[in-house]
Amino acid sequence: MTAIRRLLHPVYFFGQGLHTGETSEVVISPLPYGSGPELEIEGARAPLERCPVSGAGRGTTVFLPHSDLRARTTEHLFAALAVLGLWSVRISLKGPEIPAADGCSALFAESLYGASAPDKPEEDSSMRTDAFSPAFPVTIVDGEKESSLSLFPWGALSITYVIQYAERLIGTQMATFDAEKDDFRKCIAGARTFALDTEIERLRAAGLARGGSLDNAVVVGDETVQALGGLRFSDEFVRHKILDLLGDLYLLGRPLNARITAIRAGHAMHCVLVDRVRRLCRGGSRVHQ
């Protein structure tokens, strides 16, 4: 599922945000072929690749440059856009946060897939959203948290993610997603966000998870997992981490060819990687598709 797709008409999503609990609307609209993705908030807009990002606060926040305007919890929607190959789009947000839907990418992916078609580059058009392939490895390490994120040159996008929760039902999980071989809509899009039951009160006291419920999240205790309909995958937790990373990589504004290994990482580390790869992108090493 690495082909570039073209959005045929605007697609609207409306609902409550996972963290703010406030109602928002986001519209995904087609842009001319070859354009990179744009973010629009309250009429102001900028290329997504130029927008500052933060992975603090249990999600990714994207800021318009030189502005207080921001879009919170972008990762689930952006994962669908990235893997479907929808790069020539404008993302217009009314409200503080992308709607949570059911806590994953399934609704976004199905709606956007149905509203798009495979793109065929015009002979006289140079492709703005060409894939970027780094010339050398990039490694980020947090020794205190025993976390790491490593990127290696590769011919396509492949992600291996490892998570570890001591003395919890989650335990240690590892999964790999190959963008050329695996069907995102079947094996990743439906993996929901999750939280430990012991952290919910603290999150809400910090102004987070105010829109969270079993309608859009999985809650994990010492001996039980609360999930509507049960877990969708035996390793749903690590699959959701892959989903999050795919969404954060969309912030590059173009496809990425790399092999990535993430160990106990998260949005903060993802955003550090995005900043580093953005600098490499501006320096060249693009590979046209």
Q: List the catalytic residues.
A: 267
Q: Which DSSP symbol is given to 256?
A: B
Contacts of 234 (CB under 8 A, 6+ apart): none
Tell the residue number behind the tokens 């217009």, with chain if given. 92
Using CB atoms within 10 A of its CB, is residue 115 exposed (0-12), middle (13-18) or buried (19+)?
middle
Cα–Cα separations (whole angstroms), residue 21 to 6, 120, 191? 32, 40, 21
| Cα–Cα distance measured from residue 82 to residue 254, given in angstroms and rounded to the nearest whole number | 8
Instruction: Tell me how crowded residue 22 is: count the other CB atoms within 10 A of its CB.
Output: 14
Of 201, 142, 195, 203, the residue nearest 170 (C-alpha):
195
Coil, strand or helix: which one is 93? strand
Tell the residue number behind the tokens 């009314």, with chain if given. 94
